[in-house]
Amino acid sequence: MDHSVGKALTPKPKDRLAVALDLPDAKQALTLVDALDGTCQWFKVGMELYYAAGNSFVQELRRRGFDVFLDLKLHDIPNTVAGAVRSAAQAGASLLTVHACGGGAMLQAAAEAATVPGAPKLLAVTVLTSMDASELSRIGVVGTPAEQVLRLAKLAKSSGIDGMVCSAEEVGTLRTEWGPQTMLVVPGIRPAGAATEDQRRIATPATAIAQGASMLVVGRPITTAKDPAAAAQAILEEIAEASAAPSTVNLKK
């Protein structure tokens, strides 16, 4: 997959959508994969499913020809996180998340561990899309979500982590800061009219792409739809249309 968002190298819509398999077991997850009928190439495996099904599920998706985004949000002492990154490399995942708030030493250890053959590309999670300014203040973070995202993203970048996870509200700032080569993944995607549920900082697929997102993560708008394949196809079409439009982001020279 080409993770750049430069006009000449814009990836296909299928390479810009990861469906979140936030389901309790492998059987239900594979039923959904089958229902999507080949519309999607990327699947995100989060903690709920991974703790139930483990590496064998990741390997099954890979056997079927899909790419896997392993969203474990690793956050522990440097040695433990480094070991987890090496273990994840054995599963065949292409992307793996670590928490940027784990600190520079942890991020550096993760980045070093990800140099082994077959290791996934690391993405640093900045501020969860379920959190807003009031939630941040309750855990002692002073400032806006945008300020905290940029602070953590700069720490991750300086520690050797090239990709970031952020909301659509901050992705334009990060795209401007680092140009087209940095992979920026945006969750909290909700098509127009969809319920926000427990998400706070959300955006439509078109808005996120226009602001500079490399990849969108979409869960319930697809996984709970009466026709998951049709829901996914509608989002892919919106991604394609937004990708063809002129970018709204001014990249640094």
State the sign of the Cα–Cα–Cα–Cα dihedral 210, 130, 215, 206: negative
Q: Quote the strand ranges of the chain, DSSP E.
A: 17-20, 42-46, 67-74, 95-99, 121-125, 163-165, 184-186, 215-218
Q: Out of 73, 121, 157, 226, which one is annotated catalytic?
A: 73
* Nearest Cα residue to 148 out of 133, 160, 162: 133
Beta-bridged to residue 67, according to DSSP, are: 42
- Which parts of 162-204 fold into alpha helices (H)? 168-178
Beta-bridged to residue 124, according to DSSP, are: 98, 164
* Spatial separation of the C-alpha atoms in residues 133 and 158, rounded to whole Å: 25
Active site residue 7: no
Q: Which two tokens stand for residue 142?
A: 């002073």
Residue with tokens 């819509």: 13
The residues carrying an active-site annotation are 73
